[in-house]
Amino acid sequence: MNILIMGAPGSGKGTMSRLISENFGITHVSSGDLFRQNIKDDTPIGNQAREFIEQGLLVPDDITIEIVKERILEFDCEQGFLLDGFPRTSFQAHAFERIEKQINRPIDLVINLVVDRELLVKRITGRRMCPVCSSIYNIFLSPPKVKGVCDKDGRTLLQRPDDTLEALSVRLEQYDTHTQPMLEYYRERGIVKDIDGSGGVEPVWKQIKELMERLNAQE
């Protein structure tokens, strides 16, 4: 099955993608993770993308389409892929339609996580990560035992540069301008399922798991 997972920043795309991937054996492809890895590895793409990402802006379409296309063509995506964070603009969606046709792997399902703004802001601006073990905390919703320090290894927790309130305002604006309208394109194809993403991990996961089990049973 080929799936897109969509939703505003903080809607839980990353968490749900990991669960889908683990439980259904589908390869998770996150455009944001691809960029962050390129930045970490100091590649030319990473250097081009860094400035946009830190300001909360979208990386230009041509760079983004190229990096995702390359990843989708790898062998572990042959049995299905779960795209997280791509496409994010109508231009990307149309470019991806051509890729879908080229590789003959159409999107079967678009999971759209719906979360209200106030909660999105809390989830993103409160998010902190351990640079060593990658554990995620939230200073409002799931704080570490000791302020600013990872429970598992005692390292100082970090905030992603694009998780500040300033960068988040830009990211939300980009979402409203470019990504939200793009969803209509998939709605017209009749493959979008809206999921209430405002609960904790368990209730949101339950909805997605049941949806996917239903779809698998129909295949």
Residues marked as catalytic:
13, 88, 127, 160, 171
Give min distance, CB of 82 to ligand AMP, in A: 13
Using CB under 6 A as the binding rule, whether residue 186 contacts ligand AMP is answered as no
Pairing of strands 3-6, 109-114: parallel
Using CB under 6 A as the binding rule, whether residue 32 contacts ligand AMP is answered as yes
Nearest CB to ligand AMP, comparing residues 180 and 216: 180
CA distance 48 to 43: 9
**DSSP designation for 191:** -
Instruction: Check if the beta carbon of residue 124 is closer than 8 Å to that of residue 32.
Output: no
Q: Dig out the tokens for 104 from the structure.
A: 């003959």
Nearest CB to ligand AMP, comparing residues 57 and 119: 57
| Binding span for ligand AMP by CB under 6 A among 81-89, 105-113, 134-142, 190-198 | 81-89
Nearest CB to ligand AMP, comparing residues 154 and 181: 181
Query: Which of the residues 190 through 209 are near ligand AMP (CB under 6 A)?
Result: none
Q: Dig out the tokens for 140 from the structure.
A: 């409002």
Instruction: Check if the beta carbon of residue 17 is closer than 8 Å to that of residue 5.
Output: yes
Query: Which of the residues 5 through 24 are near ligand AMP (CB under 6 A)?
Result: 9
Using CB under 6 A as the binding rule, whether residue 137 contacts ligand AMP is answered as no
Taking each continuous run of H as one helix and of E as one strand, the counts in the chain are 9, 7
Give min distance, CB of 43 to ligand AMP, in A: 15
| Binding span for ligand AMP by CB under 6 A among 53-61, 103-111, 131-139, 180-188 | 53-61
Strand-pairing partners, residue 17, are none
Give the number of C-alpha atoms closer than 13 A to the C-alpha of residue 219, restricted to the C-beta side.
Answer: 10
Backbone angles phi, psi at 20, to 5 degrees: -65, -45
Give min distance, CB of 47 to ligand AMP, in A: 14
CA distance 206 to 137: 22
Residues that bind ligand AMP (CB under 6 A): 9, 31-32, 35, 52-53, 56-59, 64, 85-88, 92, 162, 171
